Chains A and B, each alone.
Chain A
Amino acid sequence: MSSAQTKPATHAHKAEIFCRDEQRVNWHSKALWTLREKRDRAASQVPEWETLRKLGSHIKQHSLSHLADYLTEFESNCIANGIQVHWAKDAQEHNQITHNILAKHQVKKLVKSKSMLTEECHLNPYLEQRGIEVIDTDLGERIIQLAGQAPSHIVVPAIHLKKQEVGDLFHEKIGTQAGASDPTYLTRAARAHLREQFLSADAAMTGVNMAIADQGGIIVCTNEGNADMGVNLPSLQLHSMGIDKVIPNMDSAAVLLRTLARNATGQLITTYSSCYKAPKPGGEMHVIIVDNGRSEMLKDKILAKSLKCIRCGGCLNTCPVYRRSGGHSYNYTIPGPIGIAVGAQHDETHSSAWACTLCGSCSFVCPTKVPLDKIIAHQRYLKAQAQTLPYGKRHYMPLVGKLMANKTATNCAMTVARTSLNILPHRLLKPFSGAWGQHRELPQAPKASFDTWFKHNRGQK
C-alpha cells in the first residue's frame, strides 16, 4: 500500500475508505456482532459470570505483580521437565533465537499455529528471508497468508474476507474449482492442503495462551487442532510467549479457560485446550519468553493493566468503531480496543487512540476487566504530553480551552453561531460545518441561551 518512505494513513482516513462500501460495512459489523450475541448467550448461562471476571482479573493482576517470581518459577520447572527456555528482550532477539534453533536442526519447513506474538515480531518474513518456508496452519491465518495480508482480528483473522473472495483465492492458490464458495467444500480443500504441510514439516511452532508456573508447561487453545497436529508430528517443537502469559497454577488456568472461549465466540471451551510440558522422546521442546516492550508498559500503572488481556477478542467484537472501520485501519498488528491499548505507541500517525468514542463497552465485555477505555484515554494523554496529537488538536485545543474558560467570549461566539444557524440557509453554512454537516443536518438553534431565559423568567438569582 505505502512505500517505506511514505507515512501510513490515519485511522480516520483508512476508516473513511472502508466506510465507502456501506453494504460491506453492514456485513462486517453484523458478522462480528453475531459473535457478541453468542458471547452474551454463553455468559448469561454461567450464574457466576461476573465473579469469574473478577477472579480472572485478580489472577492476572496478581501474576503481573509477581511477574519475576512466576517467570523464574516457570523457567526452573520447565528446565526440570526437559524443556529448553530462552529469553528474548525484543522481536529481533526472538526471531534470531527461533532461527538459530531451526537452523541447527536444518529445518526447511515450519508449521505454525496461531500466534499474535509472532505476528507482532514479524517472524514469517524474517524466516522466509533465511530460506525457511513458514506455513500458518490456522484456517483463517492460512487464508490471509495466501492472500498476502495481515490479520484483521486476533481470533478470526480473515473475518474481513467474504466466502466468495476466499473461494477465488483458493482457486488461484490451492486449485479449488473456479467460482466455488461453499464453506464446507473450501474447508475440506484447506484441510487436505494443510495435511500435506503437516506431514512434510520439520518443526512446529505455536503461540501460548497460558504458561503455568508451578507445572513448567504451557497451554495452547485452538478450535481446529492445528497446534496439536503440528506439535505431535515433528520431533522439534517451539512455543513463543509474551512475559504476560505466565499464571501461577492450573486452578488459575481453569478460571481463565472458562471465560476465554465463551467471551470469544460463545463456545463453552475451545475444541482443543492442550497442555505441553515435556519434549517428545528423542525430541526437543523450546519455549521462548519475549518482552518486546512489555516490561516498559509495566512501568506505567495504567498501561500495565492492558497486560491482563488473555486475547479473547471480545472487545473487538463489541467495539462499534472496529466493526465499522475494519482491522486494517489501526496501524498495528492488533486492532480494536486492545490494539489501541497495547499498540498506540507504535502508530506513527498517532491517530489510533482517537478511533474510539470512549463508550466503555469493551471494558464491560472484557473477561479480565482490562479498563480499556481508561487505557485509551491515557494513551491520548501520553500523545498530548509528547506533543504528537493528531487531527490538528495541538493547535486548536488550547484555543478551545481558552474560549470555554471565558464565559463572555463563549456567550458571544455562541450567540453568533445561533444567529447564523437561524437566519442563514443551511446549505450556505454546510461548507463551513465540516464532517458534521457532511453527514448530519445542522442543529436547530434556539433564539437565546438558558441563562438568558432564566434571567427573564426567574429573576436575579
Chain B
Amino acid sequence: MNILITGGTGFLGGHLVGELSRTFKTVYVLSRQQNLEKFKHISNIEFITGDITNLEVIAFEGKVLTDFLDSVDVVLHAAALYDLAASHSATFLQNVVGTQNIMHLLNSMKNLKSFYYISTIAVGDPDTFFLEENQLPVRSNFTDAYSETKYLAEQIVRENPSEKFVTRIIRPGIIVGDSVTGKMPKIDGPYYFIKAFEKYAKALKYTPIVPLSFNPRAKLPIIPVDHCARFIRLLIERDDFKKALKTYHLVSSESPSLDEFLGDLNNMVGAKTYYFAVKENKFHNSLLKLLGIPDEVLPFMFSRLSYDKTSTLEDLPEINESTYSSFKHILFGRS
C-alpha cells in the first residue's frame, strides 16, 4: 500500500508522514521542494514534485505520471494555507483551488481506494448549537478567510463523491503542540491567551475582576498534534472501504470550557482574577485585540457549538484516551 500526502511539509503533515511511514510501503510526499532535511531519518519516503495550485498538479509527464498514479492506494490531502497574515486570494488559491485540483487528480488514479481530506472544525456555524458529522451546515457569514475557504473546499469534497473510491473527511479541532515534547512551531489558538497572560501576569495578580467578552461555556475543541496524527493513521488502517462518505471529528474528550481554561491560566500565572463575562460587543472585542488575540480566535470564544462524535467513537474508541487533563501540562508548562 502506498500513500500520497499533500501538505507533508506542514505542522500536522510532518507528524502524519512520521506516523504513516510505519504502516505504508511508500509514502509519497507532494511538495514544491525535494529532499527535505526534516525527513532524513525516514527511508520509505519519496518526494513528488508538484504544486496543488496548478491545473496539472504533478509535474511528471507521460508514462512516469501514469505509473505513479496507478501505484497510489490512498490519498491524504492535508495541504492548506493557515496564515493570518495571508490575503484572502492566496488562502482561496491554496485551500479551494488546491482541493479542487486534487479532486480532479483523483479521477485519473486507477487503483485508488480512499481519499482522506483534512478539513477543520471551524467549518461549523458558531451561531448554531451542534455540528453534525455527516453534513455541512448551510453557512454564508464568515469572519476570516481560513474558515471560509476551508468551508468551500469541504463543500467541493462533499458534493462530489466518487463511485470508484471512498471519501473520508476529517475535521480536527484546534491543533496544539506535541503531548510529549510540547513542541509548537507557531503561536495559534490557545497559545495567544497563554502569551497574553504571561505578558500581563503581574497586572492580573492585583486585579480582582476583569470584564471580558466571552461565553464561559464555550468549549475549546483542542487536540495535540501527535494524537491527531495517530488517530488519522488508525482511521486509515481500520478503513473497510464500505461506506462512500464518512466524517470524523477529532477533538480530545473532556475538552475544556473557556471558564475552566481561564482558571488554568490563572493557576499558571498565580492570579486569582474573576473573569466577568459580558456579551460580545465592539469595545470588549477591541480590548481582546489589545491583549493580542486575533479576530479568527474570536468565533471560538463565543461559540456555543458542541461537536457530534458518533461515527468517530464507532471507528475510533481511542479518542477517549486523549483527555485534556492528560496533556494540559504541556500547554501551561511551556514558558
A binds B: no
Residue numbers of B with Cβ under 8 A of A are none
Residue numbers of A with Cβ under 8 A of B are none
